[in-house]
Amino acid sequence: MDNLDYVRTNIKFDNTYFRELSGFYSPVNPIHVPDPKLICFNNILGDKFDLSSKYFDTPEGAQLFSGNIKPDGAQTLSQVYAGHQFGGYSPQLGDGRAVLLGEIFDKEGNRFDLQLKGSGRTPYSRGGDGKAAVGPVLREYIISEAMNALKIPSTRSLAAVSTGEQVYREKMLPGAVLTRVASSHIRVGTFQYIASLGDKKKLKKMADYAINRHFKDIWGDNNPYLQFLKEVSDKQASLIAKWMNIGFIHGVMNTDNMSISGETIDYGPCAFMDSYLSSRVFSSIDTGGRYAFKNQPFVGQWNIARLAETLLPLIDEDLEKAISKATEVVEKFIVSYDKYWLDGMRGKLGINNKLSEDHSLATEFLEILETNKLDFTKSFLIVNEEGSESFLNSVNNDMRAVDWFQKLNRRKEKNLNDKNKELVNPIFIPRNHLVEEVIAKAYDGELEPLKKLVEILNNPYELSNNLECFANPPEVINESYKTFCGT
């Protein structure tokens, strides 16, 4: 068997979305591209699916991951969904530049979507070309894989392929396709689209599918649809707390970019903060700061309220009762978020039990970071590993910080005797200047820096020799740094 046959016939699909949800997608084929070349293949993720780099990190793999050859068993489709974008409702969005190849299994038998992003126009492309440029594809590849290494639920990136054609953004740029792996691509916006059809049977079909796929255990509950809302809400509260614990700004938290499975999805203008500013915004189009760092938990709750509205007919036949039950869940979002966030902050500050004073200790620390424009990631390392002298030097012995450090030390005396310390403060995060630098080099055809950065970010808690420069913020922080949605 030659390798083309091997890659075509050795991915096992079982396509429940295609089989069970007709009407909620359009069958679409990826477009043919002139000259596909692998920029990177994720051999660690490949191994998880038994897709060995020996066969897939090859020119034939590039044909497959560009969409030029369709693997046997794939049933390609683009999903329809709606969504609130920056608060305004768009009744029909959908995969305008993505094609689902189908569902595959990891070695433990867990089901995942395998999707191509940037693979050409679909019935949902509206004015767009359905394509993606190398820069945003690599950005998603780098950051989604870093998120996974940082133990934050995320879609993953299996491969990035350059297509050999140019795409027009503000200028001509080389085109690329990303192969994305996700628990599923069901979004809050998927429910918004289906609810808008006003057909309870269709709504139930999607809800049942999502429950079967992600929350099977809740079928025994006396109100599974209310429980479904609770589960999605809880997963999102936990996810956003993790973002807030690590200094991540998603940048475009539209309801179509919020996954039911609780994974971070749709890496567009996202970025990690260097110096801490609670109102930090990176996205060039987020002029009102709707998706600013500090707003993320509240946007999460707002999005969950939109999901709740769609589920009302399934929650209770009596609309008043349905509203009251759903409202209770939505109201709990922030309570649950706060709990996750504080647990995360305790770990980051070296506190291993729970006391009521912890909340103010954590918020005061962030205020000190903000006043002194300190690096978010490094500050936690300094506090934990280098101790008070080093931290207090970095703030010129600011009185408030001196006082705070004493409080922290007194608080730590009340810690439990527990040696089991999980690593929670990363050394390496995908800092903007590093990401920009390797993407710029990749545009020039130099791929080694990209591969090296991906490797470093894959092991974020351990400092190896000569890698300090990857741990540091840039010498001069560009306060007007902007990120772009462009694909």
Please identify every residue annotated as catalytic.
256
Tell me how far, at minimum, the Cβ of 309 lies from ligand AMP, in Å.
20
Residue type, 203: L
The answer to whether residues 428 and 456 touch, using CB atoms and an 8 Å cutoff, is: yes
Judged by beta carbon, residue 57 or residue 95, the one nearer ligand AMP is: 95
CB atoms within 10 A of CB 245: 23
Tell me how far, at minimum, the Cβ of 320 lies from ligand AMP, in Å.
34
Q: For the purposes of burial, counting CB atoms within 10 Å of the CB of 478, is it exposed (0-12), middle (13-18) or buried (19 or more)?
A: exposed
Q: Does the footprint of ligand AMP cover residue 94 (CB under 6 A)?
A: yes
The one among 78, 155, 162, 257 contacting Mg ion by CB under 5 A: 257
**Judged by CB under 6 A, how many residues of this single chain contact ligand AMP?**
18
* The one segment of 250-258, 319-327, 361-369, 377-385 that binds ligand AMP by CB under 6 A: 250-258
Tell me how far, at minimum, the Cβ of 163 lies from ligand AMP, in Å.
13
Report, in angstroms and rounded to the nearest whole number, the Rg of the chain calculated over CA atoms. Answer: 23
Q: Does the footprint of Mg ion cover residue 263 (CB under 5 A)?
A: no
What's the CA gap between 186 and 193, in Å, rounded?
Answer: 11
The answer to whether residues 158 and 41 touch, using CB atoms and an 8 Å cutoff, is: yes
Judged by beta carbon, residue 130 or residue 297, the one nearer ligand AMP is: 130
Q: Does the footprint of Mg ion cover residue 95 (CB under 5 A)?
A: no
Mask for 173-212, x = binds ligand AMP (CB under 6 A): ----------------------------------------
Distance of CA 110 to the CA centre of its chain: 19
Q: Residue with CB nearest Mg ion?
A: 266
The CA-atom distances, in angstroms, between 396 and each of 28, 179, 399, 475 are 60, 48, 9, 19
Q: Does the footprint of Mg ion cover residue 140 (CB under 5 A)?
A: no
Q: Does the footprint of ligand AMP cover residue 93 (CB under 6 A)?
A: yes
Judged by beta carbon, residue 97 or residue 280, the one nearer ligand AMP is: 97
Name every residue whose Cβ is closer than 8 Å to that of residue 93 and which is 6 or more positions away in sequence.
80, 81, 82, 83, 85, 124, 189, 256
What's the CA gap between 388 and 391, in Å, rounded?
Answer: 5
Judged by beta carbon, residue 287 or residue 420, the one nearer ligand AMP is: 287
What's the CA gap between 422 and 214, in Å, rounded?
Answer: 27
**Tokens at residue 329, please?**
């869940």
Q: What is the DSSP letter of 248?
A: E
Tell me how far, at minimum, the Cβ of 429 lies from Mg ion, in Å.
23
Tell me how far, at minimum, the Cβ of 124 lies from Mg ion, in Å.
11
CB atoms within 10 A of CB 452: 13
* The one segment of 128-136, 291-299, 425-433, 450-458 that binds ligand AMP by CB under 6 A: 128-136
The one among 140, 231, 263, 266 contacting Mg ion by CB under 5 A: 266
Q: What is the DSSP letter of 179?
A: E
Q: In this structure, what are the phi and psi dihedrals at residue 220, rounded to the nearest 5 degrees?
A: -75, -10
Tell me how far, at minimum, the Cβ of 78 lies from ligand AMP, in Å.
8
Contact positions vs ligand AMP (CB under 6 A): 93-97, 124-125, 128-131, 252, 254, 257, 266, 268, 485, 487
